[in-house]
Amino acid sequence: MQVIKIQQALKVAEQLRAKSSSPVLINYVQGNLRSFELAHDLLRILKEAGWTVEVETPPTQFDLPHDDVFVGVDDCTHPPEGAQTLLQALGALDLRVRCQLEKSTLAKAHSIVLHVGTDPTLGAR
């Protein structure tokens, strides 16, 4: 099942294609179908835009599952070039997105980690 509408996906892919990218690891909540489906929609969008991206399999189990989507980086004061671009592009989707970069321990081996929560469309704008 596709969570993100095709028109939205194409628009976001076009936005991302026009900007510089960074490698992305997508992480989702294990055992949560909504999180899994959205993670794979985001994977398709990023690949369509030409970004290097992978989905962590099996995903890291979150200690405290969250509802929203957030962009994790190793150093918030010096984020990778594509982190702000990705954050802005996610804002164009009908998702609950945290509007700031957050520290992620998984980002040490990857430039950006995109954490997809349990129901990021719940209460979306």
pLDDT of residue 47: 92
pLDDT of residue 51: 92
pLDDT of residue 18: 79
* pLDDT block averages, 10 residues each, the chain of length 125: 78 86 86 86 92 76 68 84 86 73 69 82 50
pLDDT of residue 109: 54
Identify the sign of the CA torsion 29, 98, 114, 14: positive
Match 């996610």 to its residue by tokens: 90
Q: List the chain domain ranges.
A: 6-116
pLDDT of residue 73: 86
- In the 8-state DSSP scheme, what is residue 61? P
pLDDT of residue 124: 45
Second-level CATH architecture of 6-116: 2-Layer Sandwich (3.30)
H helices of the chain, where? 6-17, 33-48, 81-91
pLDDT of residue 46: 93
d(CA 14, CA 69): 20
d(CA 42, CA 90): 9
pTM of the predicted model, to two decimals? Answer: 0.82
pLDDT of residue 64: 52
